[in-house]
Structure 1
Amino acid sequence: MASDHLASFENTRERLAGPDLVRAIAITEVLICHDGGMISAWCHKTLPFHLAVLGFYGVMLFFVLSGFLIGTIILDLLDRKASPKDWSIFLVRRWLRTLPAYYVWLIVLLIPLAYFGPYGVTWDEGKRVLPYYLTLTQNLGWPMVSGWYGVTWSLCVEEWFYITFPVLLLLLLACRVRSAVAFGTILAAFFIVPLWWRLSLPTNVDWNEVTSKIVPCRFDSIAWGILAAWFYRRFRIITTFHIPLALCGTFIVSIIWWSDKLPFPLWNGRFQSMAIYDVVGLAYALCMPAMMRLSALPPLINQTVRSISTHSYALYLCHLPLVLVAGDLQVRYGIRIRYALLFTIVTTLGGAILSWRLVERPCLKLRVRQSFQKVESRDGHSVQNKLSGF
């Protein structure tokens, strides 16, 4: 049975509130971490620890959501024995959703670097690392080549996942491996290889810059979403327990988030650096069925959440570079904090809105529809499967 229809940027009337809410929560956590940390530094203060680590949880939530949505599509393609053309449509749709906005922002952010001096790095370093950013290889098998445009590390993880998972799956299918066996084998590999890679790293590496940002080290974060999609699809009884599962997942995340307040250590540092991705990934995966059951929110809240969700990708791409520009203007030209803050808010929100209207939405309209057969909904009515704006 094919999947339920998912939230879609292209089908706003049937758009589920659950994925929108997850995106809104994730981007809010990232903004609190990054912008909150920078603004606190302007005031010569430190962002409280439990707010400073929200960036990790926000990115993890994005990864699991991405895995769940693309996992649903991949399972649909497998079930209907999709042709190579269908798989190519899947990849092209992904690239049209993510790459145009990325390259536009990459070019836009080079302008202040070239003409107004450094914000984080010099122009010479920007030119040196630009080929990596153009090919999305800035952290392919090594730490980020530069601190400039650092938020793009997670985009690289997702883009390479979108390529490697389907390609390896199709290779096994071409060898006449049964689809269920092929899918399970590749999914298992995407859990095993990242853990092995992290364990192979020296124990004294920088966790934030090495263990958590090298592309293969984070594939399992997305794989948890794909596993959740498989369980949600194959064992529909779990929808009956979506609330207990979500409460369990929320409890796990809360315990880890506040583990420093426990009267006993939750785990040692080495184990934490290896396992935290999978423990948090599992916790978020447990929340996915509840996300899919949330079809609507109160009107005012729903409108706000949907707007944040719609602009979440552009917000992610532009927020940190723009707050760094504001900080650079403050240091070099003595701009007052309130004006730097106003600059950050106006450019970030304005940039996200323009990115959506001028780049992302037009590119969505260019995408070929990923067609699927009509499927039966839970109430027995025939509905057209609507895939995510992914």
Structure 2
Amino acid sequence: MKSITAKKQRVFGLDVVRALAILLILCSHSTILIFPESQSTLIKIIQFLGTIGVDLFFVLSGFLIGGILIKQIEAKQTKFKNFTQFWMRRWLRTLPNYYLVLLINIGLLFVFNTEVPKQLYKYFFFLQNFSNKQADFFTESWSLTIEEFAYLIGPILLFVLGLIFKKSGKWLFLAVTLLVISSAIFHRFIFDVSITNSPHHFSWSKSLRKVLVYRLDSIYYGFLAAFIAYYYAMAWKRYKWISFGLGVVLFVGVHVYIFINSLNPDHFSTFFNVYYLSIVSISILLTFPMFSNWRSTLRFQKVVTNISLWSYSIYLVNYSIILLSIKHYVVISDLSALSKLGVLGLYWSATFVVSYLLFSFFEYPIIKFRDSARFKGWFAN
């Protein structure tokens, strides 16, 4: 397998999804930095689009990883050794950056003389938001726990069920995908039934949207997209624009419905608790036939590709390290409009510079090792 920077190994449309997702998140965090108390409709829309950026990452991750697992199944590589190799490759891609940034965040607690959160050890095992809301520390890590467990649970279920039924194939992959999706929806239903006992200061986002057991399905909608793209490739390509249109209509339609009915997730709405997150993921899934078939040689392709490559580093450093450090030293509310613009420029430039350095001198060398013959030789026998 070639390096992730090899152009012919990349799909431009999927790079667009990554770049769009991280830019939406950065724009959302920019409003938190500059307009933390604003109730402006425009600011709220930008912050909302930031949450959609995370959902884009979820479905995209599931689509890519689901495709890898399908290829393993089709190649009859379903022994535990094969899944171990899959996990090792994923962990070398995600864990080094995560633990480095986690340690930096812990260091900043002492630099800023901030209280150390209780049960800090959970962050080292991706348990900080397993079934309850996580502490207000390294807050962006909530999505990484969901991804790590999604990558762990799927192969385990494929392996165990493969042993039970003595065969692995596309229908077992589909069954595992639907099982995980159903399980997450069921957990959200149980949450909704019990929500009446919640305290007045309940936060839907912290208590449900960012909790692992309620969100595993968000990755597996990507698995579902990978299943359709691989086994029904002609239809996936032929109906890409129809599917894209349906996705846009579904996404816009559900949010028009929310606006017309003045629905609010913090008011214990069953619609939000049980259905909303699935609808958003499905609407994103429907756009993927278009994105996954989008090839381009446009001038800005290199910019899109670079942002895509740096997106994981950007996601890890932009908030807890860059934004909160700026807020610690600068009282934003005391600044003039021009000074705020300068702070915003500092936030964006610092984020991209630090992310570039993190990717170039830490993340990418580890990825090169992962793709090396030496690493592959560990699993040759």
Q: For the superposition of Structure 1 and Structure 2, which TM-score range results when normalised by the shorter chain? A: 0.7 to 0.9
CA distance in 2, matches of 1:8, 1:213: 32
Q: Which residue of 2 aligns with 1:231?
A: 228
Say which of 242, 245, 248 aligns to 1:244: 242
Which stretch shows the higher mean deviation, 172-181 or 274-283?
172-181
Q: Residue type of the partner of 2:280?
A: V
Q: Using a 3 Å threshold, how does the CA distance of structure 1 residues 218 and 264 change in structure 2: closer, same or farther?
A: closer
Q: Where in structure 2 are the equivalents of 1:184-223 lying within 5 Å? A: 184-201=174-191, 202-203=194-195, 204=198, 205-223=202-220
- 1:301-358, CA deviations, whole angstroms, 9 ceiling, x for partnerless residues? 2112111111111111111112122112124997864554344233211211111011
CA distance in 2, matches of 1:368, 1:86: 16
Corresponding residue SS for 2:239:
helix
Is 1:10–1:364's contact at 8 Å kept on the other side of the alignment?
no
Q: Which residue of 2 aligns with 1:303?
A: 302
Q: Using a 3 Å threshold, how does the CA distance of structure 1 residues 359 and 258 change in structure 2: closer, same or farther?
A: farther
Q: Which residue of 2 aligns with 1:176?
A: 165
Q: Which residue of 2 aligns with 1:283?
A: 283
Q: Using a 3 Å threshold, how does the CA distance of structure 1 residues 332 and 223 change in structure 2: closer, same or farther?
A: closer
Corresponding residue SS for 1:311:
helix
- 1:197-235, CA deviations, whole angstroms, 9 ceiling, x for partnerless residues? 111123245310111111121111111110111011111
- How far has the Cα of 1:251 moved from its partner? 2.1
Corresponding residue SS for 1:48:
helix
Q: Does 1:344 align with 2:347?
A: yes
Is 1:311–1:352's contact at 8 Å kept on the other side of the alignment?
yes
Q: Which residue of 2 aligns with 1:388?
A: none
Q: Where in structure 2 are the equivalents of 1:23-62 lying within 5 Å? A: 23-41=18-36, 48-62=43-57
Is 1:195–1:274's contact at 8 Å kept on the other side of the alignment?
yes
CA distance in 1, matches of 2:252, 2:333: 42
Q: Does 1:139 align with 2:137?
A: no
- From the two aligned structures, give the one with the greater helix fraction: 2
Is 1:195–1:217's contact at 8 Å kept on the other side of the alignment?
yes
- Aligned-pair identity in percent equals 26
- How far has the Cα of 1:71 moved from its partner? 0.6
Q: Using a 3 Å threshold, how does the CA distance of structure 1 residues 314 and 47 change in structure 2: closer, same or farther?
A: farther
Q: Using a 3 Å threshold, how does the CA distance of structure 1 residues 111 and 337 change in structure 2: closer, same or farther?
A: farther
Q: Residue type of the partner of 1:320?
A: Y
Unmatched tracts of structure 2, length 5 or more: 374-381
Q: Using a 3 Å threshold, how does the CA distance of structure 1 residues 175 and 188 change in structure 2: closer, same or farther?
A: same
Corresponding residue SS for 1:178:
coil
Q: Using a 3 Å threshold, how does the CA distance of structure 1 residues 323 and 46 change in structure 2: closer, same or farther?
A: farther
- 1:145-171, CA deviations, whole angstroms, 9 ceiling, x for partnerless residues? x11110100000000111111011101
CA distance in 2, matches of 1:246, 1:109: 40
**Alpha-carbon RMSD:** 2.8
- How far has the Cα of 1:237 moved from its partner? 2.6
Unmatched tracts of structure 1, length 5 or more: 371-390
- 1:18-39, CA deviations, whole angstroms, 9 ceiling, x for partnerless residues? 1100001111111122222221
- 1:238-292, CA deviations, whole angstroms, 9 ceiling, x for partnerless residues? 2111111112112222233444544897999321331111111111111111112
- 1:5-57, CA deviations, whole angstroms, 9 ceiling, x for partnerless residues? 9x972422442201100001111111122222221128897862211211221
Say which of 356, 361, 365 aligns to 1:362: 365
Q: Residue type of the partner of 1:184?
A: L
CA distance in 2, matches of 1:48, 1:256: 20
- How far has the Cα of 1:365 moved from its partner? 0.6
Q: Which residue of 2 aligns with 1:381?
A: none
CA distance in 1, matches of 2:160, 2:6: 33
CA distance in 1, matches of 2:366, 2:83: 19
Is 1:37–1:47's contact at 8 Å kept on the other side of the alignment?
no
Q: Which residue of 2 aligns with 1:104?
A: 100
CA distance in 1, matches of 2:21, 2:245: 18
Q: Using a 3 Å threshold, how does the CA distance of structure 1 residues 209 and 30 change in structure 2: closer, same or farther?
A: same
Q: Using a 3 Å threshold, how does the CA distance of structure 1 residues 12 and 294 change in structure 2: closer, same or farther?
A: same
